[in-house]
Structures are given as structure tokens and as C-alpha cells.
Amino acid sequence: MSVSQRARNIVPSATLTIAATARRMRAQGIDVIGFGSGEPDFDTPDHIKEAAIQAIQEGFTKYTASGGIDELKDAVVTRLKRDNGLVYSRDQILISCGGKHSLFNVFQALLESGDEVIIPAPYWVSFPEQVKLCDAKPVFAHTHEHEGFRLHRALVEPLLNSRTKILVLNSPCNPTGAALTRSELQGLADLATEWGFWILSDETYDSLAYDGYQHVSIASLGDRVYAQTILVNSLSKAYAMTGWRVGYTAGPKDIIKAMDALQSQETSNPTSIAQRAAVVALTGAQEATHRMREEFDRRRRVIVERLNAMPGISCLSPQGAFYVFPNVSGMYGKHYAGTIIRNSTDFTTYLLETARIAVVPGVEFGSDAHIRFSYATSMSNIEKGMDRMAEAVRQLR
């Protein structure tokens, strides 16, 4: 008796694994600073929590429609119009148990065995694994550090063929923080309409952008690309609601209907209470999100400056999200206590053991020259973590 080939093919989420290791070490009394997890350290804003408490008190604690309550679908419609200039109707919206679940449903609804999905690399860890779960093939469009990890038409075009079904976009990007401009998106939109593939646009970090960058949703670039785009977003990061598990999809009615049918058999509905809270998050005051964004921006500047001050390490300044992805290949070949650092995994192991800081090796995101820090942690943790890392880097020979 053994587990399925499908389950054996899947790599567990590295980011969740690193966060669990840091938690375990802390439970043993070891003072570890966690830069692993993509989770805001802020509390969910009070007005959102209160909506959930009220839902419980009113007895709104039963199954809902599988694809989410109408009130929340309408809140998503309002949000997409307000923030992205996009017009959707209620039957073009599906609420799921987090953005990860939304993405999984999209892949399940669209992919046949053997289809190809183009994923820009470096990529968020779940994209290739979810594609593999559909028996489809991830094909990587490698972006270049010297171009700021930006995806553009010329990187995608050579990968296209008759099996290409979806191009995944993730702007602003986890892990690089690259956020695409309107003209870069236009080039990709033109390619999609010329070739007739789907665009899956993961806009989870759209409200966390810096340096005056204005997020553009590719679906807003014309009727044809709108009809070929499936937009996914989540409340996890923008509203510090990771544990509530609410994400949503907007797209063509027939795709949304198919996803709803899948979801009705997978999970029934997203949590009733979290849905009521999500309505308030999307339609209520947005100040808390703006404040979080400002704080992330301050931390971003500090961590980028501190990393670039370390000899052999270079770090681009991200335009969005809350990650930095420094190049640490200057550390490779150096050694400590008789051990040579050969790759990003060795280096992150060294940082965990010596500096007691938890970061994720870049190889998990498709680039072994880099490591990923989440700066969704306090400024004092960032300062302390950078002091420890600078010392650990100094000790290498």
C-alpha cells in the first residue's frame, strides 16, 4: 500500500516548512528571527473582526452557497470597479478558501493532461505544484535580474506552442517584488490575444506597491484580453487576514460556473463568518491597509540598504509585495567550520544555525543564486536580523 504518484510528485510548501522550523526552534527556547513566512505581522483590523463577531452572534454560522454569499460577490464587484476600473457582474465572481484555493480551482477547471502553463521564474512556490496536480506541465519563463526580474513579451514568445493553455502573471511578484508596467502588460496581452491562451493574473499584492507604482490589471487593457483573463486576489495580505481564508476569482461566467461546481464537491463553501468579515474589509475604510503599506515601505528601504551594505550580497529594491530577493551567490565557495557553502540551501542552513535567522532558499522559487526574506516582520526584528546576518557573513572565509 502506498500513496499515489500524484501525491509523491508534490513538493511540500517550502515557505510553510521554514516557518514551521522557526516555530519549533522558538518552542525549544531558541531565539530565531523568522523572515520565512509571507504573513503580515499586523493584527486583522478591529472593524473586520467585529463583523465576524456579529456574524457569530446573529447565528450566521451555517453552510452558505458554495461559491460564496451574494453580499460578498457584490463587494468584490465594487472593489474591482473602485480599485482596478474593471466591470464584472455577480455571476463572474467566485469566493474560495483563500487565494491558493482560487488558483487551484482555476487550474482544475482549465487544464487537460499534457497542457502547458507558462510560469515566470522566479515564481511563487505553489504555481508549479498546482499545475503538476492537474497532470499538466509547468514551463518556466526565466526573467533576468539585470532587467529587474521583469516579464516581457520576448521572454514568453519562444515558449509558446499549440499546447500552451495558460500564462500565469503575478504582479507585484512574490518573491522578486517586480511589478509590471502598463506597456509590459500590453505586450503580454497582445501575445495572449494573438495566440489565444488564458491569462491567470494573480493580483494578491496589488495594494502593496511602492515608489509611486500604480498597479494595472491586465484585464483592463481591452475587451479581448478581458475575455481571456482570469483574475485572482486574496484578502490575506492586504487586510492581514491570512488565517481567515478568503480569496476570490473574477472571470468569464462559464469558467466561474465550472469552478463553483468543483468547489461544491471539494470544500462546500468558504467559512460563513469569514465571508461576512470580508464584506466589511472590502467595502469599509481602507486606512488600515494604507497604514500597513506605509510601514512595509519603511521596512523595505531599511532591509534593502542593510543587505546591500554586506560585501558579496546585492539586492534590488522591490516595487511591491513584502519580500526581498537578494543575490547571495557571492557567498558560494566560502566556508565555515570545515563546511563549504555551495548553494542557497547551504547558505540558509548556515544562517539558521549560526545567525538564528530563518529565510527561504531561492532554489525553491527557481533561482539558486538568491534567498528570500519576507519583511512582514517588525522593524526591530529586521534590524536585529540584519545585525546577525552581517556578523555571520563576516565570519565566512
What's the min distance (Å) between Cβ of 171 and ligand PLP?
Answer: 10
Task: Give me 56's grid cell.
Answer: 457569530
Q: Which is nearer to ligand PLP, 13 or 21 (CB)?
A: 13
Q: Which is nearer to ligand PLP, 170 or 249 (CB)?
A: 170
Q: How far apart are the C-alpha atoms of 308 and 210, rounded to whole Å? A: 19
- By the 10 Å C-beta count (0-12 exposed, 13-18 middle, 19+ buried), 90 is classed as middle
# residues near ligand PLP by CB under 6 A: 13
19 contact partners, CB below 8 Å, separation of at least 6: 34, 36, 37, 39, 358
Q: Counting contacts by CB under 6 A, is residue 271 touching ligand PLP?
A: no
Instruction: Decide: 153 and 132 in contact? Cβ < 8 Å.
Output: no
- By the 10 Å C-beta count (0-12 exposed, 13-18 middle, 19+ buried), 217 is classed as buried
Instruction: Decide: 392 and 381 in contact? Cβ < 8 Å.
Output: no
What's the min distance (Å) between Cβ of 247 and ligand PLP?
Answer: 4
What's the min distance (Å) between Cβ of 321 and ligand PLP?
Answer: 7
What's the min distance (Å) between Cβ of 148 and ligand PLP?
Answer: 18
Binding residue (CB under 6 A) for ligand PLP from 104, 124, 239, 347: 124
DSSP single-letter state for residue 235: S
Q: Counting contacts by CB under 6 A, is residue 174 touching ligand PLP?
A: yes
Instruction: Decide: 324 and 303 in contact? Cβ < 8 Å.
Output: yes
Q: Which is nearer to ligand PLP, 239 or 350 (CB)?
A: 239
Window 227-256: contact mask with ligand PLP (x via CB under 6 A): -------x-x-----x----x---------
What's the min distance (Å) between Cβ of 161 and ligand PLP?
Answer: 26
Parallel/antiparallel/unpaired status of strands 93-96 and 116-121: unpaired
Q: Which is nearer to ligand PLP, 249 or 348 (CB)?
A: 249
**Nearest-5° angle of CA 201, CA 104, CA 112?**
95
Window 92-121: contact mask with ligand PLP (x via CB under 6 A): ------xxx---------------------
Residue type, 330: G
Find, among 102, 108, 100, the residue nearest to 132 by Cα.
Answer: 108
Query: What's the gap between Cα 386 and its chain centre?
Result: 24
Q: Which is nearer to ligand PLP, 100 or 306 (CB)?
A: 100
Q: Which is nearer to ligand PLP, 37 or 64 (CB)?
A: 37
Q: Which is nearer to ligand PLP, 109 or 393 (CB)?
A: 109
Binding residue (CB under 6 A) for ligand PLP from 36, 38, 128, 366: 38
Window 53-72: contact mask with ligand PLP (x via CB under 6 A): --------------------
Q: Which is nearer to ligand PLP, 99 or 385 (CB)?
A: 99
Q: How far apart are the C-alpha atoms of 105 and 110, rounded to whole Å? A: 9
Parallel/antiparallel/unpaired status of strands 360-361 and 93-96: unpaired
Strand partners, 33: 357
* CA atoms in the 13 A half-sphere facing the CB of 387: 7
Q: Which is nearer to ligand PLP, 202 or 260 (CB)?
A: 202
Window 184-213: contact mask with ligand PLP (x via CB under 6 A): ------------------x-x---------
What's the min distance (Å) between Cβ of 375 and ligand PLP?
Answer: 14
Q: What are phi and psi of 273, to 5 degrees?
A: -65, -45
Task: Give me 189's grid cell.
Answer: 496581452
What's the min distance (Å) between Cβ of 236 and ligand PLP?
Answer: 3
**CA torsion 105→286→242→8, rounded to 10°?**
30
Task: Give me 381's grid cell.
Answer: 526584528
Q: Counting contacts by CB under 6 A, is residue 320 touching ligand PLP?
A: no
Q: Which is nearer to ligand PLP, 244 or 350 (CB)?
A: 244
Contact footprint for ligand PLP (CB under 6 A): 38, 98-100, 124, 170, 174, 202, 204, 234, 236, 242, 247
